[in-house]
Homo-oligomer: A and B are copies of this chain.
């Protein structure tokens, strides 16, 4: 055997080879729709990484044209690109551009969760009919590769349940509230740090998370799910006390999206929920996102990372562009999951945490428990703590329907010795109780 080259010689040789590969790399024209935070970050990342991509793939991507509000021409960009990247957001004109690009035989990469959520089937069909690829990793959980893992690594697995923290704004606000801030201050802090919009409604109402869970549910369960199919509840009604009690009990309180095969159907929902301390999502703080996928044969996989941010989202878009580039010329797109729609369930059973203040008098606990019992809610654990003349009563129920729970809560609120109406929050997993 001849002497092996030293690491430095090997390095020099490899650099030389890479240089010549880059020189020979054929150009790949990329059309860019949108020039906001993510659009700008993507253009910059692509120019920083084009040498590395050229040596890895043999093709050198570059932006052949950018459409902004005030400049660029869609038809010209369409004619000159091989891959179209849509970072405009919203339904129109994004939908028309994306459909037109696919009909013209261009692969499409998009970060547009609304478009995927509301027009997913139309887009998947267009991709399939025109033999082009449609990628959208950045539409859910930013740089966290949940779309690829669900549709590729886990394509052969029967997914049982997905839990996700898929909105960074609300997770940031809840983390600040856990440290003692009230909702308004926490939201203002999120806005000051660029983690919340001036109008935060879409995030704090749970609608943004619901759209993302609809996309994940579509992929994991082959069922078309739109925003109107998702039961969602936001964080506006939470108070700092809820998080403090949670902490005392060793629980995290998060805005959790769930997509779950159950009772022969599919439940997709978003709501604040208590998680026991060891839950993989309980330690996800600040603006991070995380998704847990459960199936019998995998137990569970959890993925976490930044859910937003220009460079982070741009990285997910770049991963999709490279995925398109590395697929063989003339190959057909990987099939979308077959549609075997499950019926969508609305009122699913959950365990609930109830918290109320009552006059510290005999019979209070029994009276509350009787109301719950009448509505079919059996009590799993109780904690009563004196507060001078009053007492704080905390209960965790076994699973019951939201309708029954709401009825019981209304009735408890009418009891004469109840000082404040009960606060009810769902509990995910009951291991702590």
Report the minimum CB–CB distance from A318 to chain B (whole Å). 4
A298 to B305, Cβ gap below 8 A? yes
A301 to B304, Cβ gap below 8 A? yes
Residues of B near A47 (CB, < 8 A) are: none
Report the minimum CB–CB distance from A154 to chain B (whole Å). 7
A137 at the interface (CB under 8 A from B): yes
Residue from B15, B58, B341 in contact with A10 in the complex, judged by beta carbons closer than 8 Å: B341
Residues of B near A21 (CB, < 8 A) are: 338
Closest 3 A/B residue pairs (Cβ)? A328-B331, A301-B305, A145-B153
Residue from B145, B157, B314 in contact with A301 in the complex, judged by beta carbons closer than 8 Å: B145
Interface of A is mostly: mixed
Residues of B near A53 (CB, < 8 A) are: 156
Number of interface residues of A (CB under 8 A): 74
Cα–Cα distance between A280 and B284 once the two chains are bound (Å): 8
Q: Which residues of A contact B (CB under 8 A)?
A: 7-8, 10-11, 14-15, 17-18, 21, 45, 49, 52-53, 55-58, 137, 143-145, 148-149, 152-158, 222, 278, 280, 283, 285, 295-306, 309, 311-312, 314-316, 318-319, 321-323, 326-328, 330-332, 334-335, 337-344
Residues of B near A322 (CB, < 8 A) are: 152, 155-156
Cα–Cα distance between A377 and B335 once the two chains are bound (Å): 58
Cα–Cα distance between A338 and B14 once the two chains are bound (Å): 8
A155 to B315, Cβ gap below 8 A? no
B156 to A337, Cβ gap below 8 A? no
B303 to A301, Cβ gap below 8 A? yes
Cα–Cα distance between A7 and B17 once the two chains are bound (Å): 57
B153 to A343, Cβ gap below 8 A? no
Residue from B14, B154, B343 in contact with A8 in the complex, judged by beta carbons closer than 8 Å: B343
A315 to B297, Cβ gap below 8 A? yes
Most chain B CB within 10 A, of A17, A148, A158, A304, is at A304
